[in-house]
């Protein structure tokens, strides 16, 4: 006889974007007890994915954009282990950089955003659409190290920042490929299916950036863009010594806004929406909050840009009374075999010198040779007639 | 009559028509299928219908409960009671009832409840997931006065009923008392509706009933095949304190038993490190009334981030990491106490962060006087430290600390740090969580592959999906029967296979081909070839029609 508690729990299927979703009502209670802290936002950790997609020296400003967001995010508390930084080109060590090992964001070289503890996870040609989508969806080969992965869970708030050259519905990577807004929306949907985020803040600083967030359909995404469809995002100011534009306008004013934020500040997202009005930016920044469940006025900037941990006091402790077991010392005797380790030979020169030439596998002649011989034979028979066949064979 | 060399004879025309027709035939019969086969993507077969069935997720959970009656004066009475109970239908569940054996009687005569529990455990080991409830009469002195239920360290509970054992109207009283009591015991020791709903919180959007359940669901780590535990000793002032901690021995003695007990749930790997010159990010305030420095609860949230940058982690694995930090304050800020919101000192002097780990502040200023020579050699009392870390580890792994209902006495959890029934509860919620997560993964994978027709589905992915589906079905069957150990194992296999299938690197769909791009690719290839064929077909058709018209005209 068994005690049977029958629980029929019906599946809640979320994959179809047209179906409406039952929203979870988080009680926002400001109370003195520790459980109260949990309700203002549902996240326990923060991640950031910062991507610069353009290469070449004249796109210095895109790298400076990304690095200044990186700097703000680190300053507000997100550790390097939770930041995936992708820079498509190395400006600090570029031959044309008059001040090597620096990337400046303000003219007259006021602020060096490169510093000495920048940790770039994907650099140079590793920044591709494929790698970006792999990072987002988690489909990385098993040999990828931890620092190159986005190990978020269902309680992570993720900040995604993209900058580069873009157009209506696409973003250009490395001057050779592009990612479309549909692919990006699908990638976010796959992240949602696997509950790889709690809330997502998507910021894009490119021309016609608003087109990139038009197609999103997964819940809990808030998006900001530097310009609407049909508008270009402009760069801020050139530095005459370096010779290129240092920053884009939207990111420049956003950086100024973020410099006023400290880890304990209570500024909310509505202030971020007001950054860089048309008078300063020339383009019209846009934002999209219809997929986001909470009211933007209640979302703190530090919910995405910083990493404020929830903390609980440990009230109980377990009383342990056993004494510590002493580890048994292995008697040292001469017969003990110690494993001898050695490095594998990186360049086996002796083998290379004495190598026999490799036998190449025989392949049947490919199409071109066959075609050429067929043509020659045809011409021959056309000219001389078929009765000469017996002379050949 | 001379025929001009360019005139087309009927024979030529016939030959031309045959040529055009045969080329068209070859193109349509041979070419089109060949092109279709060579351009289609390889998609191995997936058990889609079984996945759809699984997606409904009808879980039936069951547990063995055995209720044992300690002997009272008069065997007959107890047998009568048992008969009556088994005949009663209105109960939602059926339970097995029996009387106690002689050895159990002896065990129940022990002086204290803890000893009785121990000797009962020696008699028979209950399998995973089951429970035995011993009903003892009021006259028994095992339990103290105000306590009616004692929950042991293993899978037993002692329930005292306080009705006089008389036949007749007090039988109803006995039953009335027994049933709700047993229900309460099951609520504490076994799974409950809230637990299961919380475990399924990914799939089922529930309106949270109470704050504690939200906090619980946010605090514990999600189910994962492995965890990494790192113990770090933070010494910001090595000039003053030279710290020694026997971490290996402490882990072996205190932590390893718990992890061995939890090994059906996950693999654990333990590291330890010592960090020097790492300060807390917050400056503590000096409290002159206590002659000590204090950290209040609000500033604790900012302590973790500056430290985390220095902690490091194992680059090779992507398992979640639990960090336990032992901070010994520097000599200028000793002693350092943590105060809660009411300015009371926290006895354990420790705090933890959900899904991250715990930090304990260990003051060493009491070990030496002011005249000693620096650096001072300090041996850290690992039993005290590990007691706190063990408590935090329990919370972070999901062992909920429930406040038991009134009249209940819960035995302390013993040297392993985990009671058997707590392990059972964890196993239940983990099994359900694994099954739910694996089902969601498989369902969304199937849907993704269905939606995007261009993704190649390799054989290994299909095999992983099939094995995940099989494991899921087995796990649900085992849960229904009540074999908790097997159910957990199958659910773990299911989740491993489903994650492997979902996160396979080959499933990346950069093959976003909108229809207009498809046309743009195929038109330059096929149009030049098809135009002559089409035109000759049209010509043949028009000639046939013309001939038919001529025949018609000739007839008339």
A–B CB contacts, 8 A cutoff, strictly below:
260
3-class SS at B271?
A: strand
Q: Are residues B190 and B285 in the same domain?
A: no
Please answer yes or no on whether B208 and A6 come within 8 Å at the CB atom: no
Q: Please give the pLDDT value at position B91.
A: 35
Same domain assignment for residues B138 and B242: no
At B170 the three-state DSSP class reads helix
In this predicted model, which residue has the larger pLDDT, B71 or A299? A299
Q: Is A7 in contact with B388 (Cβ distance < 8 A)?
A: no
On whether residue B474 sits in a domain, the answer given is: no
Alpha-carbon dihedral sign for residues B331, B337, B343, B344: negative
Whether residues B152 and B278 share a domain: the answer is: no
Q: Residue A114: pLDDT above 50?
A: yes
- By residue count, chain B amounts to 556
- φ, ψ of residue B253 to 5 degrees: the values are -85, -40
Task: Read off the DSSP letter of residue A219.
Answer: S
Q: Does residue A314 belong to the interface with chain B, where contact is any CB pair within 8 Å?
A: yes
Q: Can you say whether the dihedral through the CA atoms of B238, B239, B241, B246 is positive or negative?
A: positive
User: Taking CB atoms and an 8 Å cutoff, what residues of chain A touch B386?
Assistant: 320
Distance from CA of B167 to the nearest CA of A (A): 26
User: Is the pLDDT assigned to residue A22 strictly greater than 60?
Assistant: no
Inter-chain CB proximity B62 and A2 less than 8 Å: yes
Q: Which residue of B has its CA nearest to A38?
A: B215
Rounded Cα–Cα distance for residues B173 and B168 (Å) = 10
The residues near B381 (Cβ < 8 Å, ≥ 6 apart) are: none
What is the distance in angstroms between the Cα of A46 and the nearest Cα belonging to chain B?
11
The residue behind tokens 């420095």 is B293
Contacts of B504 in chain A (CB under 8 A): 139
- B53 reaches A (C-beta below 8 A): no
As assigned by CATH, the class of the A45-305 domain is: alpha beta
Note whether residue B73 is domain-resident: yes
Tell me whether A129 touches chain B (CB under 8 Å): yes
Contact assignment for A139 to B504 by CB distance below 8 Å: yes
CB contact under 8 A, A145 and B57: no
Query: What does the pLDDT read at residue B193?
Result: 72
Strands B292-296 and B285-287: antiparallel
Q: Are strands B156-160 and B131-136 parallel, antiparallel or unpaired?
A: parallel
pLDDT for the residue B267: 92
pLDDT digits (tens, 9 = 90+) for B438-482: 998 999 888 888 877 777 788 899 999 999 999 999 998 888 887
Same domain, residue pair B67 and B151: yes
Beta-carbon separation of A35 and B444 below 8 A: no
- Which of A309-313, B95-99, B333-337 has the weakest average pLDDT? B95-99
| Residue predicted with more confidence, A14 or B302 | B302
Please report the residues numbered 478 through 517 in chain B whose beta carbons come closer than 8 angstroms to any beta carbon of chain A: 482, 502-505, 507-510, 512
Domain ends where: B354, B371, B397?
B397
- Does the beta carbon of A346 lie under 8 angstroms from any beta carbon of chain B? no
- Model confidence pLDDT, tens digit, residues B255-292: 898 999 999 999 999 999 999 998 888 888 888 888 88
Q: Which residue of B has its CA nearest to A36?
A: B211
The closest CB to that of A325, out of B252, B309, B313, belongs to B252
Cα dist from B278 to A49, B228, B330, whole Å: 27, 22, 10
Q: Give the residue-averaged pLDDT of B119-139.
A: 76
Average pLDDT over residues A17-31: 29
Domain boundary among B372, B397, B422: B397
Question: Chain A, 149-188: which have a CB under 8 Å from a chain B CB?
Answer: 149, 151, 153-155, 180, 182-183, 186
Q: For chain A, state the CA radius of gyration.
A: 30
Strands (E), B236-353: 241-244, 267-276, 285-287, 292-296, 321-327, 336-339, 350-353
- Which of A6-15, A224-233, B138-147, B363-372 is predicted with the least confidence, judged by mean pLDDT? A6-15
Q: Which of B297, B355, B383 sits opposite A45 (nearest CB)?
A: B355
Chain B residues with CB-CB distance to A183 below 8 A: 510, 512
First to last CA, chain B: 31
The residue with tokens 């990337």 is: A103
What backbone torsions phi and psi does residue B151 show, to the nearest 5 degrees? Answer: -105, 120
Q: Which residues of B touch A139 (CB under 8 A)?
A: 503-505, 507-508
- Enter the tokens of residue A377: 């034979």
Show residues of chain A in contact with B55, CB under 8 Å.
Answer: 11, 13
Q: Confirm whether B451 is domain-assigned.
A: no
Note whether B170 and B252 are same-domain residues: no
Same domain, residue pair B147 and B265? no
In the prediction, which pLDDT does B52 show?
A: 87
- Mean pLDDT for B150-162 is 79
Residues of B in contact with A193 (CB under 8 A): 440, 444, 448
Looking at residue A389, its pLDDT comes to: 61
Q: Which residue's entry shows tokens 């005690």?
A: A3
Tell me the average pLDDT of chain B. Answer: 81
In chain A, what residues touch B350 (CB-CB under 8 Å)? Answer: 313-314, 317
Look at residue A7 and tell me whether its pLDDT is greater than 50: no
Q: Indicate whether B390 and B348 sit together in one domain.
A: yes
Contact check, Cβ <8 Å, B309/A39: no
Check if B458 contacts A (Cβ < 8 Å). no
Q: Is the pLDDT of residue A83 over 90?
A: yes
Residue to mutate among B203, B213, B322, B358, with most A CBs inside 10 A, is: B203
Helix (H) or strand (E) holding A272: helix A269-273
Which range (A204-208, B409-413, B520-524, B539-543) has the least confidence?
Answer: B409-413
Kindly report which listed range (A216-230, A252-266, B205-219) carries the lowest average pLDDT score. Answer: B205-219
- Same domain flag for B250 and B128: no
What does the pLDDT read at residue A353?
79
Same domain assignment for residues B85 and B18: no
> CA of A119: which chain B residue's CA is closest?
B309
Residue with tokens 């002997």: B71
Of residues B298 and A257, more confidently modeled: A257
Cα dihedral B370→B373→B377→B381 (10° resolution):
-10
Given a cut of 70, whether residue B61 has pLDDT beyond it is yes
8 Å CB contact between A313 and B340: yes
What is the predicted pLDDT for the residue at B88? 45
pLDDT of B112 strictly over 80: no
Q: Which two tokens stand for residue B227?
A: 């965890």
User: Are residues B353 and A129, on separate chains, in Cβ contact within 8 Å?
Assistant: no
The highest-confidence range among A279-283, B112-116, B139-143, B179-183, by mean pLDDT, is: A279-283
B22 touches A: beta carbon within 8 Å = no
Say which of B64, B202, B250 has its CB closest to residue A2: B64
Mean pLDDT for A3-7 is 34
For testing contact with chain B, the best of A38, A40, A148, A311 (most B CBs within 10 A): A311
- Of B428, B479, B357, B471, nearest to B59 by C-alpha is B479
Q: Does B383 contact A at CB distance below 8 Å?
A: yes
Assess whether pLDDT exceeds 70 at residue B210: no
Q: What is the predicted pLDDT for the residue at B371?
A: 72
Q: What is the pLDDT of residues B3-19, one digit of tens each?
A: 666 667 888 888 888 88
d(CA B38, CA A280): 56
The residues spanned by each domain of chain A are 1-39, 45-305
pLDDT of residue A154: 87
Q: Which residues of chain B have a CB within 8 Å of the CB of A137?
A: 503, 508
Q: Which of A78-82, B25-29, B102-106, B433-437 has the lowest mean pLDDT?
A: B102-106
Task: Inform me whether the pLDDT recorded for A5 exceeds 50.
Answer: no
Most confident stretch, A36-45, B36-45, B182-191, B262-271: B262-271
DSSP type of residue A10: -
Is B173's pLDDT higher than 80? Answer: no
Residues 6+ apart with CB under 8 A from A237: A107, A245, A246, A247, A252
Work out the pLDDT band at A30, boundaries 50, 70, 90.
Answer: very low
With a cut of 90, say whether residue B160 has pLDDT above it. no
Is B202 inside a domain boundary? no
- pLDDT, residue B208, reads 54
Do the domain assignments include residue B409?
A: no
Q: How far is CA B422 from CA B126, B364, B395, in A?
A: 14, 35, 12
Residue B163 has pLDDT above 70, yes or no: no
Give the pLDDT of residue B13: 83
Instruction: Indicate whether B239 belongs to any domain.
Output: yes
The confidence band for A13, taking pLDDT boundaries of 50, 70 and 90, is very low
Which two structure tokens, joined as six digits, stand for A176? 């050779």
Give me the pLDDT at residue A213, please: 93
According to the model, what pLDDT value does residue B199 have? 74
Is residue B115 in some structural domain? yes
Question: Which pTM value belongs to this model?
Answer: 0.79
A255 phi, psi to nearest 5 deg: -65, -40
Cα B257 to chain centroid distance, Å, stands at 22
Q: How long a stretch of residues is chain A?
A: 393
The residue among B171, B194, B217 that closes a domain is B194
Residue B283 and residue B138 share a domain: no
Q: Could you give the 3-state DSSP secondary structure of residue A223? A: strand
Q: Which range among A35-44, A125-134, B199-208, B478-487 has the greatest average pLDDT?
A: A125-134
Which positions in chain A touch B58 (Cβ < 8 Å)?
Answer: 8-10
B173 within some domain: yes
- Lowest-confidence region among A48-52, A122-126, A341-345, A373-377: A341-345
Any idea what the Cα angle at residue B427 is, between residues B405 and B475, rounded to 5°? 130
Condensed to tens digits (0 to 9), the pLDDT of residues B316-359 reads: 788 889 999 999 998 888 889 998 888 888 888 999 998 899 99
Cβ(B287)–Cβ(B336) below 8 Å: no
Residue B42, min C-alpha distance to chain A (Å): 20
Average pLDDT value for chain A: 82
Give catalytic residues of A, as residue numbers: 165, 207
Question: For A130-141, how does the pLDDT look when each residue is reduced to its tens digit (9 = 90+)?
Answer: 999 999 999 999
- CB interface of B with A, residues 309-338, below 8 Å: 309, 313-318, 320, 338
- How does DSSP assign B42-106, residue by residue? PB----HHHHHHHHT---EEEE-EEEEEPP-S-HHHHHHHHHHHHH---SSS--EEEEPPHHHHH
Do residues B74 and B139 both lie within one domain? yes
Locate the chain B residue with the closest alpha carbon to A179: B510
Residue of A nearest to B391 (CA): A317
CB contact B282 to A (< 8 Å): no
A194:B444 CB<8 A: yes
Query: Hey, of B195, B478, B509, B517, which one would you mutate to test binding to chain A, going by the most A CBs within 10 A of its CB?
Result: B509
Same domain, B168 and B263: no
**Whole domain around residue B314: which residue ranges?**
225-397
């Amino acid at each position: 006889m068994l005690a049977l508690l029958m629980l029929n729990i019906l599946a809640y299927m979320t994959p179809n974007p047209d179906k409406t979703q039952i929203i979870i009502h988080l009680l926002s209670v400001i109370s003195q007890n520790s459980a109260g802290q949990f309700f203002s936002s549902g996240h326990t950790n923060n991640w950031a994915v910062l991507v610069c997609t353009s290469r070449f020296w004249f796109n210095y400003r895109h790298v400076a954009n990304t690095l200044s967001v990186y700097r703000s995010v680190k300053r507000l508390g997100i550790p390097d282990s939770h930041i995936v930084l992708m820079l498509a080109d190395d400006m600090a060590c570029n031959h044309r950089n008059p001040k090597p090992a620096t990337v400046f964001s303000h003219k007259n070289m006021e602020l060096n955003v490169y510093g000495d503890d920048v940790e770039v996870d994907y650099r140079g040609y590793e920044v591709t659409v494929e790698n970006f989508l792999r990072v987002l969806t988690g489909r990385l080969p098993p040999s990828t190290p931890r620092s190159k992965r986005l190990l978020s869970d269902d309680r992570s708030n993720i900040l995604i920042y993209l900058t580069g050259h873009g157009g209506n519905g696409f973003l250009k990577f490395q001057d050779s490929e592009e990612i479309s807004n549909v692919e990006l929306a699908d990638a976010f949907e796959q992240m949602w299916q696997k509950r790889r985020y709690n809330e997502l803040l998507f910021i894009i600083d490119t021309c016609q950036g608003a087109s990139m967030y038009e197609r999103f359909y997964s819940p809990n995404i808030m998006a900001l863009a530097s310009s609407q469809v049909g508008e270009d995002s402009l760069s801020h100011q050139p530095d005459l010594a370096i010779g290129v534009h240092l920053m884009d306008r939207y990111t420049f004013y956003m950086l100024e806004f973020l410099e006023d934020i400290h880890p304990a500040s209570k500024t909310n997202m509505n202030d971020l929406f007001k950054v860089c009005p048309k008078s300063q930016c020339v383009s019209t920044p846009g934002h999209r909050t219809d997929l986001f469940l909470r009211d933007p006025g209640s979302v703190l900037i530090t919910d995405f840009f910083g990493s404020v941990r929830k903390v609980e006091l440990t009230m109980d402790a377990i009383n342990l009374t056993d004494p510590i077991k002493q580890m048994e010392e292995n008697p040292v005797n001469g017969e003990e075999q110690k494993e001898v380790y050695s490095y594998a030979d990186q360049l086996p020169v002796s083998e290379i010198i004495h190598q026999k030439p490799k036998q190449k596998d025989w392949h049947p002649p490919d199409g071109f040779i066959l075609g050429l011989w067929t043509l020659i034979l045809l011409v021959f028979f056309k000219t001389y007639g078929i009765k000469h066949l017996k002379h050949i064979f | 009559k001379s025929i001009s060399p360019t005139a087309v004879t009927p024979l030529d025309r016939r030959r031309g028509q045959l040529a055009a027709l045969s080329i068209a035939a070859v193109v349509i019969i041979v070419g089109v299928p060949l092109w279709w086969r060579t351009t289609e993507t390889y998609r191995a077969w997936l058990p889609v219908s079984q996945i759809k069935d699984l997606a409904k997720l009808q879980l039936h959970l069951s547990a063995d409960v055995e209720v044992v009656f300690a002997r009272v004066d008069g065997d007959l009475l107890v047998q009568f009671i048992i008969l009556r109970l088994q005949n009663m239908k209105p109960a939602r569940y059926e339970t097995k009832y029996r009387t106690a054996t002689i050895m159990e009687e002896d065990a129940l005569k022990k002086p204290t409840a803890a000893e009785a529990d121990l000797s009962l455990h020696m008699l028979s080991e209950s399998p995973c997931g089951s429970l035995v409830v011993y009903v003892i009469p009021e006259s028994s002195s095992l339990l103290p006065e105000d306590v009616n239920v004692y929950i042991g360290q293993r899978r037993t509970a002692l329930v005292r009923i306080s009705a006089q054992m008389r036949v007749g109207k007090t039988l109803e009283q006995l039953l009335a008392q027994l049933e709700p009591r047993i229900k309460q015991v099951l609520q504490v020791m076994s799974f409950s509706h809230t637990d299961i709903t919380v475990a399924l919180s990914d799939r089922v959007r529930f309106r949270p009933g109470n704050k504690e359940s939200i906090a619980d669901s946010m605090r514990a780590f999600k189910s994962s095949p492995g965890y990494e535990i790192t113990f770090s000793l933070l010494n910001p002032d090595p000039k003053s304190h030279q710290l020694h901690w026997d971490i290996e021995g402490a882990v072996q003695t205190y932590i390893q038993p718990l992890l061995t007990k939890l090994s059906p749930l996950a693999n654990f790997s333990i590291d330890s490190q010592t960090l020097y010159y790492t300060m807390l990010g917050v400056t503590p305030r000096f409290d002159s009334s206590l002659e000590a420095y204090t950290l209040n609860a609000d500033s604790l949230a900012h302590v973790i981030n500056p430290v985390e940058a220095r902690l490091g982690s194992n680059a090779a694995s992507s398992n979640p990491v639990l960090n336990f930090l032992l901070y010994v304050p520097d000599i200028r800020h000793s002693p350092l106490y943590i105060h809660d919101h009411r300015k009371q000192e926290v006895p354990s002097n420790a705090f933890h962060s959900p899904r991250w780990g715990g930090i304990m502040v260990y003051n060493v200023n009491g070990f030496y006087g002011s005249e000693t020579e620096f650096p001072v050699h300090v041996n850290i009392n690992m039993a005290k430290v590990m007691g706190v870390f063990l408590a935090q580890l329990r919370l972070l792994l999901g062992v909920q600390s429930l406040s038991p209902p009134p009249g209940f006495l819960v035995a302390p959890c013993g040297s392993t740090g985990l009671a058997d029934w707590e392990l059972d509860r964890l196993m239940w919620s983990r099994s359900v969580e694994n099954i739910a997560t694996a089902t969601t993964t498989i369902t969304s994978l199937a849907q993704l592959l269905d939606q995007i027709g261009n993704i190649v589905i390799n054989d290994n992915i299909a095999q992983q999906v099939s094995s995940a589906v099989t494991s899921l079905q087995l796990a649900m069957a085992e849960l229904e029967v009540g074999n908790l150990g097997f159910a957990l194992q199958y659910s773990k296999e299911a989740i491993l296979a489903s994650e492997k299938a979902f996160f396979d690197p080959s499933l990346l769909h950069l093959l976003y081909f909108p229809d207009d791009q498809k046309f743009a690719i195929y038109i330059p290839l096929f149009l030049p070839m098809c135009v002559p064929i089409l035109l000759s077909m049209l010509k043949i058709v028009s000639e046939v029609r013309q001939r038919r018209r001529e025949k018609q005209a000739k007839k008339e």
